[in-house]
Amino acid sequence: MMHWIILPVVLPALLAPLIAFALRHDITLARTASVAGTSILLAIALGLTILAADGTTHVYRLGDWPAPFGIVLVLDRLSALMVLLTSALALVVLIHAVTTGWDARGRHFHALFQFQLMGICGAFLTGDIFNLFVFFEVLLIASYGLMIHAGGKDRMRAGLQYVVMNLAGSTLFLFALGTLYASTGTLNIADLAVRMPEIPIEEAALVRVAVILLMIVFAVKAALFPVQFWLPATYANAPAPVAALFAIMTKVGAYAILRVHTTVFGPGSPGTEDLAGTWLFPAAIVTIALGAFGVLGARRLMPLIAFSVVGSMGTLLVAVAVFSQTATTAALYYMVHSTFAAACLFLVADLVVTRRRTDTLQPEPATIQNGLFAALFFAAAIAMAGMPPLSGFLGKLLVLDALREPGLIGWAWSAILVGSLLTIVGFARAGSILFWKSTATTGPSPEPALDDGAEKDPALDLPPPATARQVAPAMLALAGLAALAVFAGPITSYLEETSAQLFDRQGYVDAVLSPVEER
Amino acid sequence: MELIVASSIGVLTAGGVYLLLRLRTFPVILGLALLSYAVNVFLFASGRLAIDQSPILSRYGDASYTDPLPQALVLTAIVISFGMTAVLVMIGLGAYLESDSDRIDIAPETGPETEDTDSKNEGAA
């Protein structure tokens, strides 16, 4: 049996205590271990993606117990893709945190970071819903620590709100699991997929309650409309690298919705197949609107980006809510794109805010390297807003293309297009205040010279200009977005097969529930 | 017994939700504790209620047993909720000491920059 599948969970799980207990007094050692571990994780994820690329669903049975009774990890193309996305993002974010010194502003950053990776990878790989809950808790408890990393009044208060919100969500998750178990007698995803079609529609009331509860829980994670309010405050107050890493956490919610509603409650389950689309689609439309208006109305840079994340989740979930193969392909492409776009924006914003000392959107003296930051922000913002030539445009095009059915086209197209327009306006406003007006307020000097900002406010020792190493992670994320746009053809055909596999319910069930005799 | 279990779950949940909506650290922690008790009992009941039966299938013909899986789930859930409550208490304490306020929602007066994400419960406090 292949043991590679469990490595994305085991490696961070072993590395984190090592960093926390043995290396906590030496930040250099901790950094080395953390970066090395994340690099190895990326290599493993690449290996797993290659392993899964042939379309077989690999199953790892913990303790070799057969599936409905034991715990299984399932590696198919989707989970391999998500693990790869996680590890690539984590490496970029980690390099940023190390080079900018964020990891040294509080304690145990690297240990918490690894625990977070363990939870995220586990959530993507797990094959039953209760372990999904457990891995959610692992990634959440690490994210609580990361969220309040470096402390501060506003951060603590926002962190408290975030923790309470997620604890309430976890309780709801358990209620959903209890209801689901009471009505079906299993929590294994494949087993649920077998039993769900057997439930006649007139007896499905309890299951429908469970499905809606589950959807609310995943919607909390994915920052969907009625329960999105925790996200802007949390992301805006979290340390920027952490907010960049959190870009993948909303995708965990989207992944869970996608996985559960295609494999278990999706087409073929008479009692529940209509539920997700009916409720998800309007909620996602409202989410887009909320994100767009939030971007327009934000008075600080970090909330602005946070609202753009809300908007991108709305776009993603509009595509998910259709549950067709083309729409899922578009959703997956957009998911990869929006993860990197959001992370890139947060990283750039961190570089800017560190040098401006405030992220309020008001004209301030230009920072040194104003042009560089402006260019980076511009590139990241057009990626996020969905302008050509970066992958945001292609992603939104794919989503629009997939939503051509007469019942959807009006709402979806107008929401996405108007939302994009508002997002562009919001970003343009922010960018011009941050980078254009700032050059106008630099004072008597006729041109914004390099040391002008430093003389403007001698009381504050302004941080040194960003070194190449500090800019590199944001550049790397941008390069990823560019690569995503350049190789859109092969990537889309890969994702098409991924969504085909996702909708191949029988293949998943057969792979997971097959008896253990091969080896 | 069904009535007692069901109504206790209901009362615990109602109390938990009420306390959760108070938006002050201490009531919210209590409310989450109540909610987690409610969910534990609920999970326990999801394997059907049975009295005086072991969670092990007997080898000798007696087919009556109580479902062991919910008990395992409850055990995990209890451990997690203990840990989470501890984290919550610490973060709540930290937030209280830092900001001198035990409000959960971010009140507008803490600064002009904070988002009014949750100001609907201003009057309740």
- Predicted confidence band of residue A442 (pLDDT cuts 50, 70, 90): low
DSSP sequence for A421-470 = HHHHHHHHHHHIIIIIHHHHTS-S-SS--TTHHHHH-TTS-PPPPPPHHH
**Average model confidence (pLDDT) for chain A?**
87
pLDDT of A115 higher than 90:
yes
- Chain B positions touching A171 (Cβ under 8 A) are 16, 32, 35-36, 38-39
Tell me if A156 and B35 make a contact (CB, 8 A cut-off).
Answer: no
Instruction: Kindly give, in sequence order, each residue whose CB lies less than 8 Å from that of residue B34, ignoring residues fewer than 6 positions away.
Output: B12, B13, B15, B16, B19
- Predicted confidence band of residue A491 (pLDDT cuts 50, 70, 90): very high
pLDDT of residue B108: 53
Contact A269, A203 (CB under 8 A): no
Residue of A304, A157, A145, A307 whose CA lies nearest to A225: A307
* CA dist., res. A129 & res. A132, Å (int): 5
Q: Helix axis angle, A488-503 relative to A505-513, nearest 10°?
A: 70
- Please compute the mean of the pLDDT values over residues A227-237 and round it to a whole number: 87
Q: pLDDT tens digit string along B72-85?
A: 899 999 999 889 99
Q: pLDDT tens digit string along A277-295?
A: 788 899 999 999 999 999 9
pLDDT of residue A516: 63
Q: Which of A137, A151, A174 sits opposite B43 (nearest CB)?
A: A174
CA distance B94 to chain A (A): 7
- Would an 8 Å CB–CB cutoff place A94 in contact with chain B? no
* CA dist., res. A51 & res. A47, Å (int): 6
* CA dist., res. A363 & res. B78, Å (int): 51
pLDDT of residue B117: 44
Token readout for A514 is 């097959």
Contact A109, A102 (CB under 8 A): yes
Angle at A382 (CA atoms; ends A360, A499), nearest 5 degrees: 120
pLDDT of residue B123: 40
pLDDT of residue A428: 92
A69, A141, A161, A301, best to mutate vs chain B, most B CBs in 10 Å? A161
- Predicted confidence band of residue B106 (pLDDT cuts 50, 70, 90): low
Considering only CA atoms, give the Rg of chain A.
23
- Predicted confidence band of residue B31 (pLDDT cuts 50, 70, 90): very high
pLDDT of residue A39: 96
pLDDT of residue A419: 92
Contact A55, A77 (CB under 8 A): yes
CA distance B103 to chain A (A): 8
* CA dist., res. A339 & res. A251, Å (int): 8
Residue of A107, A116, A194, A135 whose CA lies nearest to A512: A194
Instruction: Count CB neighbours of A319 within 10 A.
Output: 31
- Would an 8 Å CB–CB cutoff place A362 in contact with chain B? no
- Chain B positions touching A158 (Cβ under 8 A) are 106
- Predicted confidence band of residue A266 (pLDDT cuts 50, 70, 90): confident
- Would an 8 Å CB–CB cutoff place A360 in contact with chain B? yes
- Predicted confidence band of residue B114 (pLDDT cuts 50, 70, 90): very low
Residue of A285, A358, A361 whose CA lies nearest to A319: A285
- Predicted confidence band of residue A12 (pLDDT cuts 50, 70, 90): very high
pLDDT of residue A461: 56
* CA dist., res. A451 & res. A445, Å (int): 11
pLDDT of residue A392: 86
Write down how long chain A is.
Answer: 519
- Would an 8 Å CB–CB cutoff place A58 in contact with chain B? no
- Please compute the mean of the pLDDT values over residues B93-98 and round it to a whole number: 88
- Would an 8 Å CB–CB cutoff place A167 in contact with chain B? yes
- Please compute the mean of the pLDDT values over residues B2-11 and round it to a whole number: 93
Tell me if B94 and A179 make a contact (CB, 8 A cut-off).
Answer: no
How would you class B48 by CB atoms within 10 Å of its CB: exposed for 0-12, middle for 13-18, buried for 19 or more?
exposed
Of A69-83, A426-440, A461-475, which has the strongest mean pLDDT? Answer: A69-83
SS (H, E, C) A58-109: EEEEHHHCCCCCCCEEEECHHHHHHHHHHHHHHHHHHHHHHHHCHHHCCCCH
CA distance A237 to chain B (A): 9
- Would an 8 Å CB–CB cutoff place A65 in contact with chain B? no
pLDDT of residue B122: 41
* CA dist., res. A96 & res. B71, Å (int): 44
Tell me if B46 and A130 make a contact (CB, 8 A cut-off).
Answer: no
- Least confident span in A173-177, A198-202, A439-443, A510-514: A439-443
Tell me if B118 and A229 make a contact (CB, 8 A cut-off).
Answer: yes
Strand-pair partners of A128: A188
CA distance B100 to chain A (A): 9
A112, A132, A133, A174, best to mutate vs chain B, most B CBs in 10 Å? A174
Q: CA torsion sign, A251 to A265 to A128 to A65? A: negative
- Please compute the mean of the pLDDT values over residues A45-69 and round it to a whole number: 88
pLDDT of B30 higher than 90:
yes
Running DSSP on this structure, what letter comes out for residue B58? -
* Residue keyed to tokens 């405050």: A233
Q: Which of B46, B91, B106 sits opposite A178 (nearest CB)?
A: B46
CA distance A165 to chain B (A): 10
* CA dist., res. A473 & res. B115, Å (int): 29
- Chain B positions touching A134 (Cβ under 8 A) are 76, 80
A86 vs A435, more confident? A86
* CA dist., res. A235 & res. A307, Å (int): 9
- At position A216, the amino acid (one-letter code) is I
Token readout for A281 is 């689609």
Tell me if A164 and B32 make a contact (CB, 8 A cut-off).
Answer: yes
- Would an 8 Å CB–CB cutoff place A303 in contact with chain B? yes
Q: To the nearest whole percent, how much of chain A has pLDDT over 90?
A: 47
| Cis peptide bond N-terminal to A389, omega within 30 | yes
pLDDT of A448 higher than 60:
no
- Would an 8 Å CB–CB cutoff place A69 in contact with chain B? no
Q: Is A185 left (phi over 0), alpha (psi -120 to 50) or beta?
A: left
Say what the ipTM of the complex is: 0.84
Residue of A379, A398, A401, A397 whose CA lies nearest to A481: A379
Running DSSP on this structure, what letter comes out for residue A366? P
From chain A residues 120-139, the ones with a CB under 8 A of any chain B CB are 130, 134, 137
Contact A316, A395 (CB under 8 A): no
Considering only CA atoms, give the Rg of chain B.
20
- At position A186, the amino acid (one-letter code) is T
pLDDT of residue B107: 56
pLDDT of residue A150: 85
pLDDT of residue A497: 92
Q: Which of A167, A181, A360 sits opposite B88 (nearest CB)?
A: A167
Tally: H helices and E strands in chain A: 21, 2
**Residue in A with minimal Cα distance to B13:** A171
- Would an 8 Å CB–CB cutoff place A164 in contact with chain B? yes
CA distance A102 to chain B (A): 20
- Would an 8 Å CB–CB cutoff place A232 in contact with chain B? yes
Sequence spans of domains, chain A:
292-445+468-503
- At position A407, the amino acid (one-letter code) is G
Residue of A111, A130, A144 whose CA lies nearest to A184: A130
* Residue keyed to tokens 């009556």: B64
